[in-house]
Homo-oligomer: A and B are copies of this chain.
Amino acid sequence: MEAAALLVTEALGGSRYALARLISLVEDDGADARAALATLYPHTGQAHVVGVTGAPGTGKSTLVNQLAKSLRAQGTTVGVVAVDPSSPFSGGALLGDRLRMRDLAGDPGVFIRSMASRGSLGGLARATGDVVKVLDGVGFDVVLVETVGAGQAEVDIARTAHTTVVVEAPGLGDEIQALKAGLMEIADVLVVNKADRPGAAKTARALEMVIGRNAPRGEAGQDGWCPPILQAIALDGTGVPEVLDAVAAHREHLRATGLWATRERERVETELLGALRQELLDQLLARVGEDQIQAWVERIAAREVDVYTAMQFILDAD
């Protein structure tokens, strides 16, 4: 526990080495991680958490890179959490992509962390939330969370951000990828990236039509915000300042309307229930023992008993 407290103190003091170790600790969970998060928690709640999500091939990693560079140029400090296993930030991409990220290296105002996608559904969401808290707590002004954004887990992770940027690109298929992935409803800012490619205007118009289904064009939606549709070429930085302006405008909107606090409470409730769910199971497994569980697994696999009946037996015997 003392080691964890020391890591927090050193990370708060600006040590990147301590920060990296603290993030690894938090990713792996455990008693020390929880002690560290408890110490750090009063320092959190300041960062603007921005999710950047979109289908593979939309160039969202490049956009994240450009957003981070532009924010740094404004003097804003930036943490990046890449939940996409194929993100160049996580080393899964081609060399060309990885080189593009290099120009952020060596800047103390930037910290980049990629999340391994090992473990279970809830595990990744939990770990991502905790890593964001660490970056928030040690004082990064903006935390960018990059997700591949085409599955329920990613939608749930994106939902924990204050502002969600959904990235689209022309020519990825006949239809709008964000629509296919169910991302439209969580988009606060829409970006048509690779806007120099054929079909960019068509993609933007298609997005406008989809947005228009929910709210007449130009009018605000339920929460008083009409998601702007922007065009960008992340590769050379075109349109990136406009994306940042839209992200900043959305933060002001959240602050002015009280939605910031609403989103915060929703996120906290999801986290609390997730933590309770996992802790209750861990405690049960410690009492019941792995052998007992395996014996039930064998009986269920043999069709002697179904999962829910076995569950009831285990709980009744506990």
A105 within 8 A of B: no
CA distance A155 to B148 in the complex (A): 13
Q: List 19 A-B contacts (CB under 8 A).
A: A41-B305, A55-B55, A93-B175, A124-B152, A148-B151, A151-B151, A151-B155, A261-B301, A265-B297, A268-B307, A269-B293, A272-B311, A276-B284, A276-B311, A277-B278, A277-B280, A277-B281, A280-B284, A280-B315
Report chain B residues within 8 Å CB of A276. Answer: 281, 284, 311, 314-315
Interface string of A265-306 (1 = CB under 8 A from B): 100110111011111110111000000011011101101011
This chain's copy number in the assembly:
2
Closest-by-CB residue of B relative to A96 is B174
- In angstroms, how far is the closest chain B Cβ from the Cβ of A194? 10
Interface size on A, residues (CB 8 A): 75
How far apart sit A296 and B120, CA to CA, in the bound complex (Å)?
26
* Min CB gap A39→B, angstroms: 9
Q: Quick check: is A179 within 8 A (CB to CB) of the other chain?
A: yes
* A window 48-78: CB within 8 A of B: 55-57
Given contacts A151-B151, A271-B307, could you give 8 more A-B pairs where the C-beta distance is less than 8 Å? A37-B308, A41-B305, A86-B179, A117-B155, A149-B151, A153-B153, A276-B311, A276-B314
Are A180 and B37 closer than 8 Å at their CB atoms? no
| Docked complex: A172-201 residues within 8 A CB-CB of B | 172-175, 177, 179-182
Contact A34 B308 (CB under 8 A): yes
